[in-house]
Amino acid sequence: MPDAPRHVSTATNADIEAAGTTASVNAKEPEGFSVVGKALPRIDSYAKVTGAAMYADDIALPRMLFGRLLRSTHAHARITRIDCRAVLGLPGVVAVATGEELPMRYGILPSSPDEMVFAVDKVRYVGEPIAAVVAVDELTAEQALKLIEVDYEPLAPVMTIEDALREDLPKLHVESRKPNNVHKEVHLAFGDMEAGFAAADRIFEDEFFYEGNNHAAMEQHAAVAEYGGDGKFTIWTSSQTPHYLHRIAAAVLGIPASNLRVIAPMIGGGFGGKTEPFQHELAAAHFARKTGRPVKFALTREEVFYAHRGRHPMKMKIRTGVKNDGTITASHVQTWLDGGAYGSYGVATTYYSGALTPVTYKIPAYAFDGCRVYTNKPPCGPKRGHGTTQPRFGFECQLDKIADALGLDAAEYRTRIAVDPYSRTVNYLRITSCGLRECIDAAVQRTDYRKKHGKLPRGRGIGLAASTYLCGAGLPIYWNPMPHSGAMVKVDRGGGVTVYCGVSECGQGSQHMLAVIVAETLGVDVMDVRVCAGDTDLTPVDLGSYSSRVTFMAGNAAHDAAEAVRRDMAEAAAQMLGIAPEQCGFANRRVFDVAKPDHYTTFLEVAQAAEARFGTLVGVGSYTPPENLHGDFKGSGVGPSPAYSFSACIAEVEVDLETGEVHVEKITLAHDCGRALNPDSVEGQIEGSAYMGLGEALMEESSFRGGLHKMPNLLDYKTPTILDTPEIEAIIIETDDKEGPFGAKEAGEGPLNPVIPAIANALADAIGARVYSTPITAEKVLKALEGADSGALRLRHGSPARAEAIQ
Amino acid sequence: MREKSPYDLRASARGIYGFFEMMTAPPKILAKFRLNGDEIECAFHPNKTLLEVLREDLGLTGTKHGCEMGHCGACTVLVAGEPVLSCLTLALECEGSEIETVEGLARGGNLHPLQHAFTTCGAAQCGYCTPGFLLSAAALLQVNDQPSNAEIKEALAGNLCRCTGYTKIIEAVALAAERMHESSDA
Ligand code: FES
Ligand code: FES
C-alpha cells in the first residue's frame, strides 16, 4: 500500500568520485593564507555599530509619500464591493489603488503564479492586501484606509490539513486542477522498497507534527520606490532576492526589466522571510508611477506576521526498516504541509521535505510522499532549513528510538551509518566533502555524551542529532543555462579594490565573505576591499540569499573575478621583478617572488603598471553548478547541490517534573563548513542557529484561531531572550571542499536543523517519554509524563490525510 | 453594509494609530533637547514618539524599530543616562533632557569601546538590533564597569536579537567593560 505508483528513476551510481577527505577541528589559522581563516572584524560592522548603515526604512527622499495597505478582515470571503470614493476627499491623501490596476498574477515559482498585489473577487487569508492608499504621511494614509468600504460574502474557511483534504469545503483556488485544496503532490521512490522492508528485522513507524513559525527578523519589511521622468523605476527594499523581485516586478508593472533597478540596502535579518516579492514592494513602485513621487511602504510587526512565508506546519509519518544492528534497509517518509493560502515556494518546500533525508545516513531504499495543501491562513514559505527542518526533527527522533530499542549507543550508531564522503545517495544526490562523523565525534567528546546519555538522574537529559544542508540549490528557480552568480573586481590606480556582486547582505556576512576571498586572492588587506552589492543596475546577477548559496556560488564567482585581475597584475609584476608571472606571489599588499619573498614590489605600483599596460583593471567571474548533481526524473531538480554541509548537535536539558518546563542548559553544535573563511562569522552562524533552533523547539509558533494569528507581536510570539539562551559552544569542522571557494561550504542554515531534535532527544532522555510535536511546551511535557510515551500526537487515520488516498 | 467581522484586524493593535478613530495630527510644537551633546531645537507633532522624532524629524536613523510596541528593545536610547524605549516615549516628555543615541557614542571619530568590541567580537550580524544593544550596554557600563555575565544578561534582557544567539554580544560587552575598566585605572 504505501508504495503505490511512483516514479522510479534508473540513473546509475557510476560517477561517484573516489576520493578521501580529512577533517580538522577548529583549524583556526591555516597555513599559507593571509586573510582566509582569520577572525577579522567584518567590513560591514563599522557602519552597523555607528548607526550609519542604511536599511530600507532609513531611506527618506524629497517629496516622499507614505503608503498603507488595506488588509482583509476575513479568512475566506468573496469581495462583493470595494468603494474607495471617500478616500480622496481626505486632505493629504494623494492616491488609492485596488486590484484592477495591477491584474497580473505572479508567484516566486513559475509553477504557481497565484498571487496578486491586491486581491480581487476573493480574499483567502486575514491580512491579505485588498487596496492601498498613499498620503503625505503615514497617519493620514492609515486614517484613509478606514474610509474604504468593503463588502464581503463569507465563505467556509479551510483551516487545517484535514479540512483541505475534505471534499465538502470550497476550493481556495478554483482554477487548480488538483482535488480539493491540494496544491502539490510528490511521490518518489528509489531502490527496492519491498525488498528493503522485507529484509528488515524491525520496522519503526512514528508520526510527528512540526508547528509553523515565523522568521521574526528584527527589521520589519520596508520598501521605497521612485519613478523618474525617464520612465525608470528604482526600488530599495529589504529583499534577500533583489534579482527575483527585479524579474517579477517588471512583469507585474508591465515594463521592460531594463527600466527597473532593484537595490537591496542593508537588511535587518531575513532567515528566508524576505525571499519573494511582497505586495508592499510592488505597490510602492506602482504608486511611484501613479503619483510621480517617491513612495515608502513600511510594514508593522503585525503585518509582518501576516505577510509570513514562515515555516510550514508539517505532519509527518516516518517508517524505517532496520537490521538488528541498526543498519537501515528502507525508509519511507510521508509529509503533509499546511501551505496557507498561496503557493509561495511551496512546491520546492514539498520536495525538500523528502529530498535531503538520505543525505546524512546510508539508506538503500527510500520512498517519499509529500502533499502540500492550501488553507485560509497566511502563506507559508521558506525559513532557514527550508522544508528539511521538519523531517529532520522526525527522522532524528526516530533514530534515537531505534538506537534505544536495539540497545545501541546513539552516537556510535549514527557514525556507523553515516554517509561517506564522495558518494551518492539513493536519490542520486552527489555528496562531496563530508565531515558528519567528525561533527558527531567532536560534539560527543566535548560533552562527555557517552558518560551522560541514559545515565543522568531523572529530569536531566542529553540528546544528540545530526543533519545536513545544501550549499545552494543546484538548479535555479527559472531553469536557464546562465550562471547562478556573477562578480566583477576592479582595481583602481590608488590601490583600492572593489567587488561588484548581486548578493544581498541580510546579516550573514556575505559582503565580508566577498572581501575575504578577493583580499586573499590579490594579497591585500580585507579593509582595502569595498563591496558594492545587491544592486541590479551596478552588480552582476546573484540569484539571492537563499538556500545557503552565497558563500559557495558568489564566493566562487568573486574568486574567479579576482583571479582574472591577478593574472593581469602578475604579468605586469613579472616584468617589474624580472621573473615569470607564475612566480609571483600576492600578500600583505605586495607582489613578490615566491622563491625569494624579499624580492617584491608594492601592490600599488603593480596596479599602476598593469593599468598602464592593459587599461582599466577589471576581472569578471561567474559560477554555474556542475551538471552531474542529480538523477533524471521529475522532481530531481530539488535537493541537488554542489556540496552539502553537515552538523551535529548535543543538547543538555533539565526538566521540571512538576511543571513540565524544559530548561536547556547547554547546546554544543559542531558544523562542517568546508573551510571557515572567517571563523568568527561561522561561529556566529552556528550560535545563531542554536538560538533559533531553541526557539523553534520550545516556544515559537505561528498558530491561528478563526483565521486570526494568535500572537502577532513580539511579546506573545515568544522568541528566546538573552536570559533564555543557554551557553552555546560552536565547533568548526573543516573538510576543505574541492569545489568550494578556498574549500568553503555553507554555515547559515545547516546548523539549525539538528538543534530541534537534539533538544527533543534530550527531553526523552530526561523523562523517558517523548513529545512528538513542536513546540515542546510545558503542557505537552506534562502530558507525555502522564502518558509515558503514549505519543502526544495522533494523525487522524481514515481521513484522506494519506498521499496514496488522494492520488 | 460594511461587515463587522470578529476577525477585524483593526481591533488589534496596529502601531499606535490603531487606537485612535480618525485622528488628525495636532499642530507642531517647538521643543529643545540636548541631543548627543548638542543643544537642538526641533518642531514636531506632539503626538509623536521620541523614536519618530529622532528618525523622521531629526534624520537620526541609527535608532531602529522592531515593533513600536515596547517588545523588542531595538529603539533603546538614553534619556538622562537611563535606557528608555523611544517607541513608547513621547518626544514631548523629553523636552529639556539629555538624549543619547547610537550616533553620539563615538567621540571625535573614535569608536566607543563598546562599538569597538562589537566589531572585534562579531557581535553585529545584520546589525539591526545593534544600536539598541549598544545603548543598553552603555547604560550598564556607566554604573558598573566590571559587570558579571549575569549582570550583562540582566541589563540586556529587554533587547531581542534574532541573528547572534547573544553569545558574541555578551563577549563584546565583557570585552568593552574590561577595556574601559583598564583605561580608567590607568
Ligand atoms: S521598537 Fe521600541 S521596543 Fe520595539
Ligand atoms: S544582529 Fe541581527 S538582530 Fe541582532
CA B74 to centroid of ligand 2, rounded, Å: 10
Looking at residue A579, which CATH number applies to its domain? 3.30.365.10
* Ligand that comes closest to the CA of residue A266: 2
Instruction: Supply the ipTM of this predicted assembly.
Output: 0.94
- Classify B107 as helix, strand or coil: strand
What is the topology classification, in CATH, of domain B29-104? Ubiquitin-like (UB roll) (3.10.20)
Name the band, by pLDDT with cuts 50, 70 and 90, for residue B22.
Answer: low
Claim to verify: residue A584 and residue A667 sit in the same structural domain: no
- Mutation target to probe the B interface, by most B beta carbons within 10 A, among A76, A150, A218 is A218
* Per CATH, domain B113-185 is 1.10.150.120: yes
Q: Is B10 in the pocket of ligand 2 (CB under 6 A)?
A: no
Same domain flag for A354 and A259: no
Picking from A45, A691, A714, the nearest residue to B124 by CB comes out as A45
Alpha carbons B51 and B72: distance in angstroms, whole number: 13
In this structure, the answer to whether residues A356 and A260 fall within a common structural domain is no
Chain B residues inside the 8 Å CB shell of A708: 7, 9, 12
- CB of A581 shorter than 6 A to ligand 2: no
Cβ–Cβ contact B1 with A under 8 A: yes
Q: How sure is the predictor about A788, in pLDDT bands with cuts at 50, 70 and 90?
A: low
Residues A365 and A463 in one domain: yes
- Which percentage of chain A shows pLDDT scores above 70? 94
State if residue B164 touches ligand 2 by the CB under 6 angstroms criterion: yes
| Distance, C-alpha A440 to centroid of its chain | 23
State in Å: Cα A511 to ligand 2 middle. 16
Query: Looking at residue B23, what is its pLDDT?
Result: 67
For the cut 90, the answer to whether the pLDDT of residue B10 exceeds it is no
Contacts of B164 in chain A (CB under 8 A): 684, 687-688, 691
Q: For residue A9, is pLDDT > 80?
A: no
Q: Cβ B72–A218 below 8 Å, yes or no?
A: yes
Q: How high is the pLDDT of residue A11?
A: 32
- DSSP per-residue letters across A124-164: -STT-EEEEEEESSHHHHHHHHTT-EEEEEE-----SHHHH
Q: What is the identity of the amino acid at A194?
A: E
Helix or strand or coil: residue A95?
A: strand
> B167 in ligand 2 pocket by Cβ < 6 Å?
no
- pLDDT surpassing 50 at residue A24: no
Strand order in the sheet with A149-154: A122-123, A77-83, A149-154
Q: What is the pLDDT of residues A53-74, one digit of tens each?
A: 999 999 999 999 999 999 999 9
Q: B160 CB less than 6 Å from ligand 2? A: no
- Kindly state whether residues A613 and A710 are assigned to the same domain: no
Q: What is the pLDDT of residues A319-330, one digit of tens each?
A: 999 999 999 999
Q: What SS3 state is found at A7?
A: strand
Is the pLDDT at B5 greater than 90? The verdict is no
Q: Which residues are CB-contacts of A258 (< 8 A; sequence separation ≥ 6)?
A: none
pLDDT in tens, A194-241: 999 999 999 999 999 999 999 999 999 999 999 999 999 999 999 999
Q: Is A527 on the interface with B (CB under 8 A)?
A: no
A691 and A764 both lie in a single domain? yes
Please count the structural domains in chain A. Answer: 3
Same domain, A535 and A618: yes
Residue A774's pLDDT band (cuts 50, 70, 90): very high
Whether residue A537 sits in one domain with residue A453: no
CB B92 within 8 A of CB B31: yes
Q: In the listed set A623, A651, A667, which residue is the last one of a domain according to the structure?
A: A623
Ligand 1 midpoint to CA A721 (Å): 14
Paired strand residues for A460: A654
Q: Tens digits of per-residue pLDDT, A144-168?
A: 999 999 999 999 999 999 999 999 9
- Asked if the model's pLDDT at residue A488 lies above 50, the reply is yes
Residue A188 DSSP label: E
Asked if pLDDT for residue B7 goes beyond 50, the answer is no
- B32-72 per-position pLDDT tens digit: 999 999 999 999 999 999 999 999 999 999 999 999 999 99
Q: Please check whether residue A34 lies inside any domain of the structure.
A: no
pLDDT for position A31: 60
In a domain, A223, yes or no: yes
User: Average pLDDT of chain A?
Assistant: 93
* Residues in B 122-181 with any Cβ partner in A closer than 8 A: 122, 124-131, 134, 153-154, 156-170
Where residue B108 falls among pLDDT bands split at 50, 70, 90?
Answer: confident
Helix A755-767 with A679-698: angle, nearest 10 deg: 50
Q: Which pLDDT score is estimated for A23? A: 40
Which SS3 state, helix, strand or coil, does residue A731 take? strand
- CATH number for the domain including A142? 3.90.1170.50
- The string of pLDDT tens digits covering residues A407-425 is 999 999 999 999 999 999 9
Domain range summary for chain B, segments of one domain joined by +: 29-104, 113-185
Q: Does position A8 have pLDDT exceeding 60, yes or no? A: no
Task: Return the residue of B nearest to A40 by Cα.
Answer: B120
Residue that terminates a domain, selected from A556, A589, A623: A623
Same domain, residue pair A286 and A338: no
A776, A777, A780, A781: CA torsion to nearest 10: 80
Which residue reads 525608470 in cell numbers? A232
**pLDDT score, position A68:** 98
d(CA A654, CA B73): 29
Give the closest ligand to the alpha carbon of residue B136.
1
Q: Which helix (H) or strand (E) holds B105?
A: none
A352 plus A287 within the same structural domain: no
Judge if the beta carbon of residue B124 lies within 6 A of ligand 2. yes
pLDDT at A805: 30
> Does residue A466 have a pLDDT over 60?
yes
**For atom 3 of ligand 2, which residue has the closest CA?**
B161
Interchain proximity B120–A721, CB inside 8 Å: no
Q: Tell me what pLDDT residue A179 has.
A: 92
Asked if A490 and A602 sit in the same domain, the reply is yes
Residue A33 lies in a domain: no
Quick one: pLDDT at residue B8?
Answer: 44
Nearest CA in chain A to B74: A218
Q: Which residues from chain B sit within 8 angstroms of residue A726, using beta carbons?
A: none
User: Using CA atoms, how far apart are residues A56 and A223, in angstroms rounded to an integer?
Assistant: 6
pLDDT of A667 reads 98
Whether a cis peptide bond, with omega within 30° of 0, leads into A179 is no
The residues near A471 (Cβ < 8 Å, ≥ 6 apart) are: A548, A549, A551, A552, A553, A641, A642, A643, A644, A645, A674, A737, A740, A745, A746
Q: Answer whether residue A305 shows pLDDT above 70.
A: yes
High-pLDDT (> 70) share of chain B, %: 87
Domain C-terminal end among A598, A623, A648: A623
User: How many angstroms separate the alpha carbon of residue B80 from the centre of ligand 2?
Assistant: 26
Is residue A30, in this structure, part of any structural domain at all?
A: no
- Helix (H) or strand (E) segment spanning residue A623: strand A617-623
pLDDT of residue A209: 97
Among A4-18, A546-560, A591-605, the minimum mean pLDDT is found in A4-18
C-alpha cell at A690: 542554536
User: In this complex, how many residue pairs, one in chain A and one in chain B, have their CB atoms less than 8 Å apart?
Assistant: 228
Q: Helix/strand/coil (H, E, C) string of A301-364? A: HHHHHHHCCCECCEEEEEEEEECCCCCEEEEEEEEEEECCCCCCCHHHHHHHHHHCHHHCECCC
The Cβ-side half-sphere exposure at A403, using a 13 Å CA radius, reads: 24
Residue A372 belongs to what domain range? 314-475+631-797
Q: Does A387 share its domain with A318?
A: yes
* pLDDT surpassing 90 at residue B148: yes
In a domain, A248, yes or no: yes
How many Å separate Cα A786 from the centre of its chain? 37
